[in-house]
Amino acid sequence: MILVEDRNLVLPGTKLAEGSYGSDVGTYKEKDAIYASVLGIAYVQKNTIRVVPLEGKYMPKVDDPVLGVIVDEYPKGWIVDLECPYRVTLDPRDIFEKRFSPIRIGDLIYGKIFKVTETYEAFINAKRPYGRLEGGRLVKIHPSRVPRLIGRGGSMITQIKDQTRCDILVGQNGLIWLLGKPENEEFAAQIVQKVDREAHTSGLTDRVGEMLKRKS
Amino acid sequence: MRLDGRRNDEIREIKIKAGVLKRAVGSSYVEWGKNKVYAAVYGPREVFPRFLTKNEQALIRCRYNMAPFSVDERKRPGPDRRAVEIGKVMQGALEPAILAHLFPKTMIEVNVEVVQASAGTRCAGITAASVALADAGIPMRDLVPACAAGKAGDQIILDLGKEEDNLGQADVPVAIIPRTGEITLLQMDGSLSNSELEEVIRLAMTGCMTVYEKQKEALRKKYEVASHD
């Protein structure tokens, strides 16, 4: 028996269901019942319940595109900061480095995670179409709200790109890169932050559409 | 009738706010009677110092500190033996609720800062820490409320105030996992008979359930406000 409605806000310890259901992300099972383990929104499907956390750090996953800053250098490669609890390595073989502009600590990299070990150490590849990014502006949002920023089939992010006339790269780890004229970058940053704040509410797509129309 | 006019089973006024510190991953602020306490959570992140890394789960590190201006006579800055003890019991109170095996080889740091103290700071601290952990998105089995009960003036009372704690006969702070009733913190300062102790623990647990409702309300409030735009 399911005890919560779809899209309810739940807290750690909230009882979600009794009986045999699948316990997905954000939940745990104890003695024939499923409980929420995080503060988040519960999504009820036929036989599984999951809770999408409203907060929390990014956990590296294979095939995720991410953005990060180089923070350390080793003979084996560089360490990239994805704002996650685990170490992320960039091997020199996985990026194209121009002879007279080498990769340095502080550089911003756009890459794709291609390997995650059992202990959550991750490795990224930054060859074309990924690579080092120059200029532009970096915005941080909650990793759990990235799907909302992208929208169904990319609808939300495409709308923002078009109306703000900015290049936008979205990392699954919550780092967003914007490139355009300074006023446009600033405006795009505001939109992105609005989506971050209100991701769990309804009617957001309309409100964002209005905000974009008003400015342009 | 108690010094501040409360009934024997009445808890002091509590206000809890979640998400108050911008730089922390999770945070909370608790006003409990005259106590004012902040909690900040950092992590999961890399373990410092490295040798403390646990391979199978996250390391939970709790730090309790009283600001020099939090008490009547200036308290010298830095942890004293009492603060170290409280840090350790806080960890014992919170760890059973945290699903630490989901983040092997990392560290979750909980910092509790008391800016105004008036008896019951460790209970306020654990209560605040629990809300801050939820605010940080750390997976937990449940929130952990804490509350003290004891004996003063030969009366069994709930939530001792400053004078009751200093001049009373016993003070018993308790923390629980509300869903299962498991006790994760139990200490006693003073002396009680066996039956008195049972009564005090039961009273403290009802206090915990009241605190639990306040914790949940604070977390829900954080997201209710945002949805009206």
What predicted TM-score, i.e. pTM, was given to this entire model? 0.91
Domain spans of chain B, in order of start: 14-226
Size of interface A-B (CB pairs under 8 A): 84
Co-location of A125 and A187 in the same domain: no
Per-residue pLDDT tens digits for B162-200: 999 999 999 999 999 999 999 999 999 999 999 999 999
Co-location of A157 and A124 in the same domain: no
Co-location of A40 and A91 in the same domain: no
At A209 the pLDDT is 87
Find the closest chain B residue to A200 by CA distance: B227
Best of B28, B142, B213 to substitute, by most chain A Cβ atoms within 10 angstroms, is B142
Q: Do B136 and A13 touch (CB under 8 A)?
A: no
Q: Do B220 and A11 touch (CB under 8 A)?
A: yes
- B141 interfaces chain A, CB cutoff of 8 Å: yes
Furthest-apart CA atoms within chain A: distance in Å: 64
The number of helices, as runs of H, and strands, as runs of E, in chain B is 4, 10
Give the pLDDT mean for A114-138: 91
Co-location of A105 and A129 in the same domain: yes
The CATH number given to whatever domain includes residue A211 is 3.30.1370.10
Rounded Cα distance, A107 and A95, in Å: 13
Co-location of A106 and A169 in the same domain: no
The CATH number given to whatever domain includes residue A124 is 2.40.50.140
Give the pLDDT mean for B17-40: 96
Rounded Cα distance, B35 and B53, in Å: 34
At B126 the pLDDT is 98
For β-strands A175-179 and A167-170, DSSP reports them as antiparallel
Nearest residue to B12 (alpha-carbon basis) of B197, B170, B211: B211
A176 pLDDT above the threshold of 50: yes
Co-location of A168 and A149 in the same domain: yes
Co-location of A202 and A143 in the same domain: yes
Q: Is residue A4 part of a domain?
A: no
Q: Is residue A100 part of a domain?
A: yes
Domain count, chain A: 3
- B74 interfaces chain A, CB cutoff of 8 Å: no
Rounded Cα distance, A56 and A141, in Å: 11
Q: Is residue A118 part of a domain?
A: yes
The residues with which A128 forms a beta bridge, in sequence order, are none
Co-location of A204 and A143 in the same domain: yes
Interface confidence, given as ipTM, is 0.87
Q: DSSP character for B163?
A: H
The CATH number given to whatever domain includes residue A42 is 2.40.50.100
At A87 the pLDDT is 87
Q: Which domain holds residue A158?
A: 137-215
Best of A14, A27, A31, A37 to substitute, by most chain B Cβ atoms within 10 angstroms, is A37
Min Cα distance B184 → chain A (Å) is 16
Per-residue pLDDT tens digits for A36-85: 999 998 988 888 888 988 888 999 999 999 999 999 999 888 999 999 98
- Tokens read off for A77: 């490669």
Helical segments of chain B, H only:
81-94, 121-135, 162-167, 194-226
Average per-residue pLDDT in chain B? 94
User: What residues in B contact A207, CB-CB < 8 Å?
Assistant: 229
Per-residue pLDDT tens digits for B117-153: 999 999 999 999 999 999 999 999 999 999 999 999 9
- The one-letter code for the residue type at B221 is K
At A215 the pLDDT is 74
At B228 the pLDDT is 41
Co-location of A95 and A120 in the same domain: yes
- The one-letter code for the residue type at B84 is V
Min Cα distance A54 → chain B (Å) is 7
Find the closest chain B residue to A53 by CA distance: B137
* CATH architecture designation of domain B14-226: 2-Layer Sandwich (3.30)
- Tokens read off for A106: 């502080």
Residue A198 host element (H or E): helix A182-198
B227 pLDDT above the threshold of 50: no
B70 pLDDT above the threshold of 50: yes
Min Cα distance B183 → chain A (Å) is 16
My answer on whether omega of the bond before A85 falls inside 30° of 0, hence cis, is no
